Amino acid sequence: MVYCFFAFALSRFSGKRFLDTVQNFRVHGRRIRNGMLFTLCLALCACATPQRVGSDWTQWRPSPNYGPRKANYVILHHTSSDTLERALVTLNSSHTKVSSHYLVDRDGRVFQLVDENQRAWHAGESYWGGHSDMNSASIGIELVNNGSEPFAPTQIKALLALLSDIRGRHKIPRANFLGHADVAPGRKTDPSALFPWQQLAMSGFGLWCDPPHEAPPESFDAVLGLAALGYDVRDPFRAISAFKLHFSPNSGRDIDETDRAMLYCLTGKIMTVGRE
Ligand SMILES: [Zn+2]
């Protein structure tokens, strides 16, 4: 408050001579002067007042040892739009309240929309492995795709190059490359069943198990297995649907023995190579 008072007094003193000149030109001097002084006062107050987010009843002893929080997940999406232009309009409009860090077009062009150190609004209500706000922990990548078309090889090649860059900067473990449907089961279905998860896993992004799979023991609980991977299993049917969309999109709705074997293998992989 003292800072504000001082800043306002100072701004009135130093700004007076300049604004007197403006008045000499008879350009609505008084209104302009008051507006400028108010703006200047606000700016000086913002600079002079120490800013922190925390419990205001604690003592502030600032340390110099910190940096921006970094992402530890990558969430992949498809745009559900037919054109790049349509996707850009949606992701760049202040009215939609949605965005992503990157947008990859069918032809392999890659656009960055949000700084990686900032929180883009792409995942919404979401959960994975105990994290209930994936936007705060992830980098979001949108792929231009209408949801019912195959992903173009050129687009996937560009995506792999981008993922490699991101992993180099953030050291994101291979198990933490996920789809929107994985972190929002029952609410989202992107990227679609046509997304090449197996190809990504071969490049080190995401987990996969190639057959033949070892049969799981009788006691293996599939829901606990899904929870071990990271899925939100409060609604087991939604979690199973999301798992099947990612790992077994061409089979029926229910989890079968092949899915159980795949899941059993993945629970082993996440413990052995998931953090690589
Ligand atoms: Zn999405």
pLDDT at 72 over 90: yes
41 or 54, greater pLDDT: 54
Q: What is the pLDDT of residue 45?
A: 47
CA distance to 103, 114, 119, 133, 154, per residue, from 137 (Å):
18, 14, 8, 7, 28
Question: What is the pLDDT at residue 31?
Answer: 54
Best CA proximity match to 214, nearest among 255, 265, 259: 265
199 CA to centre of ligand 1 in angstroms: 20
Please name which of 144, 152, 276, 263 lies closest in space to residue 205, comparing C-alpha atoms: 276
> What residues are labeled active site?
142
Output DSSP code: residue 128.
B
pLDDT in tens, 115-133: 999 999 999 999 999 999 9
* Cα 11 to ligand 1 centre (Å): 49
> In 3-state terms, what secondary structure has residue 142?
strand
pLDDT at 50: 59
Strands 110-112 and 73-78: unpaired
pLDDT at 21 over 70: no
**Ligand 1 centroid from CA 38, angstroms:** 43
- Total-model pTM: 0.82
Task: Give the domains, in start order, of the chain with CATH numbers.
Answer: 2-47 (no CATH), 73-272 (3.40.80.10)
Residue 79 has pLDDT above 80, yes or no: yes
